[in-house]
Amino acid sequence: MKILAIGQNYVEHNKELDHAHPEEPMVFMKPDTAILRKNRPFYIPDFSNDVHHEVELIVKINRLGKNIAKKFAHRYYAEIGLGVDFTARDIQWKLKEKGYPWEISKAFDNAAVIGDFMSVTEIENVQNIDFRLDVNGKTVQKGNSKDMIFSIDAFIAYASRFFTFKIGDILFTGTPSGVGPVKVGDRLEGYIFDRKMFDFKIK
């Protein structure tokens, strides 16, 4: 399986990091070695002094697909969950300044937290999903899928032009504003609506 992620997909997040408004989805990948499941702790790597949390709605692909039309994209997933795209921000900025690829700042081991999933049948409108991240009991990120620049279905249609989707692939759909550094001892809890989707600690 593979992880496909979209960057800069929320206007307010782009403002806080001084990013330009993207004209088309900015897609990057994470390997399966980046996956962190079952509320296992996240250990801050020794190569970064500024690892940031980025809470994101995630989508599990359930059909083989290629060149998927946007109007049919909803047929390719039946579950939506919540995850964290951990980013070594100090490394990312250094690589961006040099014009280099910045995968190592996003795709390192355990950088893709995957929480629980819920059926889309439990969601009244996929284009109106509230989600949030609490750190040590305080809400630091709040988002809603209606604020995505590129919707889930638009992301699927675009990415499937370049990558064949396989059953079990995971899509990270972008993060809202409020990203920030994590430190040893922090407790991260993620919610879709009022349902807790993950709960883990930083070590």
What domains does the chain contain, in order, with CATH numbers?
A: 3-201 (3.90.850.10)
With beta carbons less than 8 A apart as the criterion, state whether 173 and 155 touch: yes
**Which portions of the chain are predicted below pLDDT 50?**
none
pLDDT value at residue 164:
98
β 3-7/26-30 pair status: antiparallel
pLDDT value at residue 57:
98
**77-100 burial, b if ≥16 CB within 10 A, otherwise e?**
bebbbbbbbbbbbbbbeebeeeee
Query: Distance of CA 46 to CAs 29, 50, 88, Å?
Result: 22, 10, 11
pLDDT value at residue 12:
67
pLDDT value at residue 41:
98
Name every residue whose Cβ is closer than 8 Å to that of residue 33 and which is 6 or more positions away in sequence. Answer: 109
With beta carbons less than 8 A apart as the criterion, state whether 32 and 199 touch: no
pLDDT value at residue 48:
97
pLDDT value at residue 30:
97
Give pTM, 2 decimals. Answer: 0.94
pLDDT value at residue 23:
83
